[in-house]
Amino acid sequence: ELYRNGLQRARFLPAIDAIKQHCDVMNVDAGVDYRLRTLTQAHLWLSPLNDETRAQMDKLWLALAGAKRENSPTLEINHRPLATMGVENQTLAVSFTTLCVDARSQHDYIALSRLFHTVMLFDVPVMTRLMESEARRFIALVDEFYERHVKLVVSAEVPLYEIYQGDRLKFEFQRCLSRLQEMQSEEYLKREHLAG
């Protein structure tokens, strides 16, 4: 179970074998992922964008990542830089602008969904008819995260069902909203992240 679904786990297997050979292994699994308990007790779509919401996001980050957001590394995703607001313990903090306004593809979202079991998406604006490209990217992001059981925590300008105010993607966005609602359910949050 050690480092299961971890990035390049095969390279870590010799270390696991050495640990088993030279240490007494004790099972301390209580069957509960306490990080997910934090999620089930919290609203995962936080609005409006204000100091209180920012404080809630910081508190959730601390509970989920186990550390304060003190560094903001730039990741390389599909040979292109991706600016982050924090990376810790397979948890990513990132802005809506970085993931949905900047030119990103579905392949980027697939890569992120494999690397991170939890993504905290900051500062999602109301998506009007002038933001159809951004809305389409947001839908693709949600679809990939949903398929791989990524936990998504969002700070947004408005409540979930008011976020899309465009015209062309009404049908697609209805499915997206349904998925976002399900992604906040206890049943979804219990699902194991599909990294591979």
Q: Is 67 within 8 Å of 88 (Cβ atoms)?
A: yes
Q: What average pLDDT is seen over the chain? A: 89
Which pLDDT band, with edges at 50, 70 and 90, does 83 fall under?
very high
Residue scoring higher pLDDT (117 or 3):
117
The amino acid present at 153, given as its one-letter code, is: V
pLDDT digits (tens, 9 = 90+) for 129-187: 999 999 999 999 999 999 999 999 999 999 999 999 999 999 999 999 999 999 998 88
Q: Collapsing DSSP states into helix, strand and coil, what is residue 34? A: helix
pLDDT digits (tens, 9 = 90+) for 87-101: 999 999 999 999 999
Q: Give the per-residue pLDDT at 22.
A: 87
Residue 190's closest CA among 66, 56, 31, 62?
A: 31
Q: For tokens 């059981």, what's the residue?
A: 149
Q: Give the per-residue pLDDT at 99.
A: 98
Q: Is 44 within 8 Å of 56 (Cβ atoms)?
A: no
Q: Give the per-residue pLDDT at 152.
A: 98
Helices (H), the chain: 9-22, 34-40, 51-65, 96, 106-115, 132-147, 170-182, 186-189
Is pTM beyond 0.85? Reply is no
> In the structure encoding, which two tokens stand for residue 111, read together?
């890569």
**Domains defined for the chain, CATH in brackets:** 32-189 (3.40.50)
Asked if pLDDT for residue 124 goes beyond 90, the answer is yes
Q: Give the per-residue pLDDT at 68.
A: 86
